[in-house]
Structure 1
Amino acid sequence: MAVEASLPPRHAADYLVDVYFQYQTPHLPIVGRSDAEEAIESAYEAMDGREVPGRAVERDILVSFMILAIALCDVSNPSGGRPSQSEGCFRSAIGWYEKAITSSKSDIETLRTILLLAQFIALCPSRGSLWHLTGIALRLCIDMGLHWETDDRAVNMSSATLYDRRRLWYSTYQFDRMLCITLGRPFGIIDESIRVPLPNPWAIHRGTPSSEFDIHSQRAHNHLFLLSKLASEIKHVQHSQVWALKIAYPRADYNLWVQDIQPRLEEWYATIPPMNKAHQASIFASQAYWDYVYNNTLLLLYRPNISTTGSHMTSPDATVLAFAASCQLIASIKTLQREGGVDILWQTAHHLFMAGLGVIYSLWQSKEVRDQNPRGSSVSTLQSCASTLSALAESFPGVAGCRDAFDTLSSATVNWLVNDNAGEPQHDGHHREFRKQAEDLLQQLRPVRGVREEGGMKMSDMMVADGFLFSEMLSSAAQWPDSQDSALGDMGFDTLGGGFSVVN
């Protein structure tokens, strides 16, 4: 565990505030620039023993340490990995947690504090439970009515207050959707129970040299929120295909719906905010990042899903599209990993492994995929996936099992592809042998906290949108280290048990 850190020299803190608002990784817009600067100023004055009238000093110190901790995650470390000072700042923030919550003047400030903690835990999951923090944040939002904005409420609030409430709501929504879609868990709140306009980017305070960058970053975040809504719709419709028929829950015509969402996804991609308007260091200036999130959503749409688990088959066109999305997703993650743009390691490892399985599955299942793509290109894609998984394993040891399993499956696939005498896999022994090998390997990728599903892990099952076992394995590997220590335990969160409690 890192030791508690003190506030750095003021010029270093100012530099880190700039780093924080450059969005070098896609953390969420939880704190505004002016609020962050005021909190930093108040914290330094308080630490120097000066009176700071009209300020909740405890909260300012906590917010300052959290901003520094998150910003330090974006600063490259010559020895590799993330600077230890980042965790030191986090531990210092935790020391102020109880006082900050006690002195909080509103539930909004309590929510902001919890979201900042969640942001850091997303980057360093061994320090606590992102799932529990997100649940607390979501319940606070609902308790305050942030999930449903009426016209009367909007008229009677200032633009700054509306902007803040909407920003915090969508930050919470983003955490919930990211976790639930990746882990295959139910949403904390359904989209039909939400009525909140997106934050207005031009409501940000103007007058500073960096204000245009701030406006662009909010536009970029809004675009990500829209993509999360589309991904949420995809999961909802796929699940609805296996619901019992009820008048209250009509089942969508799946083929018609796919034809409807395809152009909406294409429109989303065509309307990405201009990357040349972003700060040059921002992740939002990276084409690879936008390609990553877009193709990951396409893969969610086209890969085998819960409505096809009976036959484990998808349409030939969907398999071709899933293969293309998988290949582009692998290329994008490889670029981001090389450029230091990967933030949530276990989630990226999940997406990369699923994309690799998508390539392997499509090659073995679809003659159209094999005919339309040169063997050399497919082999190169598999090698890129394997090398990127190996690179991620250096920073996140929990992905080592995925790397080893993928290396074996990839090697078997390459050997089959380059064999000139290979027949159709459905009609020769290669397919049966490979399927058994895949099931044996994937069986090893089980969550360390116990098995919650019966039976083995088949490749088609793992590619389903709710591949629960595999997602749990990676989540466990990231969140529950062998030491089983957690800084959040110091502030009253029972992160190792089945629930949580907050110390009053």
Structure 2
Amino acid sequence: SGISRSISACQRCRKKKVKCDQRLPKCSKCEKAGSECIGLDPITGREVPRSYVMYLEDRVNMLEQRLRDKGITLDDQETTEIRNSKVKVEDRVLSKGSIPCESSSVIVKSISISSEKTDIHTLDESQHAPSIAFSRLMSTAVKIQKRSLSNLQHPLASKRFANNSGATTDPSNGILPAILPPKSTALQFISIFFTQANPQLPIFHREEFISKYFIPIYGYFNYEEVSIASDYTSINAAFFENENMKVPWTPWFEQYKDNFQSILGTNASKASNDEIKKISNSIIPPKQYRKGLFFLNIIFAIASSVNHLQYPISISESFRLAANKYFEEVNSSTDQLESLSAILTYSLYSTMRPSNPGVWYTMGSALRTCVDLDLHNESNSSSAHNIDSFTKEKRRRLFWCTYCIDRQICFYLDRPVGIPDESINTPFPTVLDDSLVYPNETIKDFSLLANSTPSYKTVFLSMLQMRKIQSEVQKVLYTSFELPRRYDGLDSWKKSILNRLGLWKQNIPKSRKEMNCDFNLNFFHLNYYHVKLMIHGLSPKNYKLSSNDYTQVKYAAKQMINCYAQLFSTKSINYTWAAVHNIFMAGTSYLHTIYNSEDARVDEPLHEVKRVSSDCLNVLNSLIDSCEAASHCVEVFQSLTMV
């Protein structure tokens, strides 16, 4: 059978200090004395009957022979064959009889798709026989993860930003910077950004963005023809009416078109896409337009990533490269809040797609800027008292945007947070719609004003509360943090955090009118079930799941998969590598409960297990083109569903 074992003196001979002949199943002295021959397991340190070791060997040989009798060969290629199999989930046998009943000795807490390390928690072995199939398949998952780590560095890459004279192509795939799109396309992208991205992270004040960045590039903005998170309110045109009415005035896009056509000449019909992009790249805009070009292009990149399945993969990256040419113009700005806005938009893009520089590097820059500007500590900042209310509001929203991205990434990747909650003394930004927030010397603090109009910032404040809950869950369950004295123990804290989580779900905005935009509510549900899974799942503070834990983990994981399946059906998945990480974790957690909990298995019909597994695989398959790690996750998950 190829099984090797450690042979040593039995315990009886050791105590009597006599030589043991180490015979199996009993040494001669124990056999002569009629006593049980006990050995010491060199791995666990437990006393094990030597006859039991031989019994296990005989049992394994017998089971292997049965497999051979049924035409199943056992060799070193077995795991590889399983992993490479392309059998459909619907055709696999997932019968109750084939699912192990006992707990596995090896449990993977989370195979982090974007992390550089593997987090594996080994539980004490059950007194019953362990689940050989499950532990073997999970071991396969770990091996594949190690193999794929070299492909998972994008989200955590630490390459520096390219400067203005730096790379204009992506050397890994030859993508060129995008050409500046026509005004109608730009408006579509901006509408998507302010509907799906800016409500979660309000980096930009809507009217200020139009005034500072859109109008100088594209010219007159007709606010009555497009909704920019303004479905039920009016845009405050007074904010940019001076720019709109400038005469005579030629926006950069018109100058860009003239330059482009003069270079292209009469060869327009013969020019390839790459040639057109190279011509566009050769046009150098005047300095006053470069900041606007950075922000517009990075927003186009984010907007095309919001519904990434609707666009070719290269579209978002080409806009990102176009923005990258002008990053230093913004980063070196004397307006440090503007520089921070640029870093945050880059970070937001990096959370959506694997890119260089990665989100870990960009967030480091954002957090350092926040500390340098004392944005996290408004109550103790001497300069805060001399800041006008409009600037103060901008400082607050940029800090809390930084906080949200930091907590989101740390929660996904089990990383330490940048600024501890105990060090933060900055109030939340106002919920008022941007049309009501403008430079006004008579208003001292916008957050003190009552709100009676729809506002997209209800989305942000709900997400902000969720990030605070996620931060607490990570701190309590995954660090050495000691519970506050008001809690009797971990169970008391769990009850409290689950109550707060339930209250959060009750209070999230539930209608388009309340949000003033068509924000996708699935993202609220996705975050809710993700946190529930983490609270009830395996963690350094919870090595043994109760029956209720198994039930809650199964339900939360299943709901996460359902949310992703709905996003997939509408082509609305926005975070690619994070989605791979989260849905793979949800899928493996779901199967783990089916494998190891009798109650969970009885409550889940076979056809439902097949459906959920199939949905999980469909979503992972859809992400392969945009995140290389997804292909390895598909292989692993297929292996797990074959038992």
Number of the residue aligned with 1:468: none
Q: Deviations over 1:36-66 (max 9, x none)?
A: 212121234346569xxxx954322222222
- Choose which of 618, 624, 627 in structure 2 pairs with 1:387: 618
The aligned amino acid for 1:40 is F
Pick 1 or 2: higher relative contact order, CA cutoff 8 A, min separation 6. Answer: 2
Residue 258 of structure 1: CA displacement? 0.6
Q: Distance in 2 between matches of 1:380 and 1:77?
A: 22
Number of the residue aligned with 1:171: 401
Number of the residue aligned with 1:63: 295
Residue 32 of structure 1: CA displacement? 1.9
Which moves more between the two structures, 322-331 or 41-50?
A: 41-50
- Choose which of 176, 186, 199 in structure 2 pairs with 1:3: 176
Q: Distance in 1 between matches of 2:309 and 2:564?
A: 20
Number of the residue aligned with 1:337: 568
Structure 2: segments with no counterpart, 5+ residues: 1-169, 219-250, 257-286, 439-450
User: CA 1:87/1:278 → structure 2, altered by over 3 Å: closer, same or farther?
Assistant: farther
Number of the residue aligned with 2:490: 254
- Choose which of 214, 217, 227 in structure 2 pairs with 1:40: 214
User: CA 1:398/1:112 → structure 2, altered by over 3 Å: closer, same or farther?
Assistant: same
Number of the residue aligned with 1:188: 418
Contact 1:278 1:285 in 2 (8 A): no
Residue 177 of structure 1: CA displacement? 1.2
User: CA 1:398/1:374 → structure 2, altered by over 3 Å: closer, same or farther?
Assistant: same
User: CA 1:155/1:408 → structure 2, altered by over 3 Å: closer, same or farther?
Assistant: same
Q: Distance in 1 between matches of 2:635 and 2:308?
A: 28
Q: Distance in 2 between matches of 1:259 and 1:190?
A: 23
Matches within 5 A, 1:220-259: 220-240=459-479, 242=480, 253-259=489-495
Matches within 5 A, 1:242-321: 242=480, 253-277=489-513, 282=518, 284-286=519-521, 288-308=522-542, 312-321=543-552
SS at match of 1:125: coil
The aligned amino acid for 1:143 is D
Q: Distance in 2 between matches of 1:107 and 1:194?
A: 20
- Choose which of 345, 366, 370 in structure 2 pairs with 1:141: 370
Q: Distance in 1 between matches of 2:341 and 2:371?
A: 14
The aligned amino acid for 2:559 is Q
More helix by share: 1
Number of the residue aligned with 2:358: 129
Contact 1:231 1:300 in 2 (8 A): no
Number of the residue aligned with 1:199: 429
Contact 1:276 1:285 in 2 (8 A): no
Which moves more between the two structures, 145-154 or 344-353?
A: 145-154
User: CA 1:307/1:205 → structure 2, altered by over 3 Å: closer, same or farther?
Assistant: same
Contact 1:237 1:252 in 2 (8 A): no
User: CA 1:380/1:132 → structure 2, altered by over 3 Å: closer, same or farther?
Assistant: same
SS at match of 1:238: helix
Q: Distance in 2 between matches of 1:394 and 1:87?
A: 13
Q: Deviations over 1:355-387 (max 9, x none)?
A: 111111112222222233333323332232223
Q: Which has the larger radius of gyration?
A: 2
Residue 35 of structure 1: CA displacement? 2.2
Residue 21 of structure 1: CA displacement? 1.2
Residue 409 of structure 1: CA displacement? 0.8
Give the alignment's TM-score, normalised by structure 1.
0.71
Q: Distance in 2 between matches of 1:192 and 1:186?
A: 14
Q: Distance in 1 between matches of 2:532 and 2:460?
A: 19
Contact 1:25 1:342 in 2 (8 A): no
Number of the residue aligned with 1:73: 305
Q: Distance in 2 between matches of 1:252 and 1:331?
A: 36
Number of the residue aligned with 1:477: none
Number of the residue aligned with 1:99: 329
SS at match of 2:432: helix
Are 1:407 and 2:638 matched, yes or no? yes
Are 1:326 and 2:557 matched, yes or no? yes
Contact 1:289 1:336 in 2 (8 A): no
Number of the residue aligned with 1:29: 202
The aligned amino acid for 2:358 is S
**CA RMSD after TM alignment:** 3.1
Q: Deviations over 1:289-334 (max 9, x none)?
A: 32211101111111101123xxx42222122111111111111111
User: CA 1:47/1:75 → structure 2, altered by over 3 Å: closer, same or farther?
Assistant: same
Q: Deviations over 1:447-488 (max 9, x none)?
A: xxxxxxxxxxxxxxxxxxxxxxxxxxxxxxxxxxxxxxxxxx
User: CA 1:77/1:227 → structure 2, altered by over 3 Å: closer, same or farther?
Assistant: closer
Q: Distance in 1 between matches of 2:617 and 2:303?
A: 30
Give the alignment's TM-score, normalised by structure 2.
0.56
User: CA 1:14/1:137 → structure 2, altered by over 3 Å: closer, same or farther?
Assistant: same
Once the two structures are aligned, what percentage of the paired residues are identical? 25
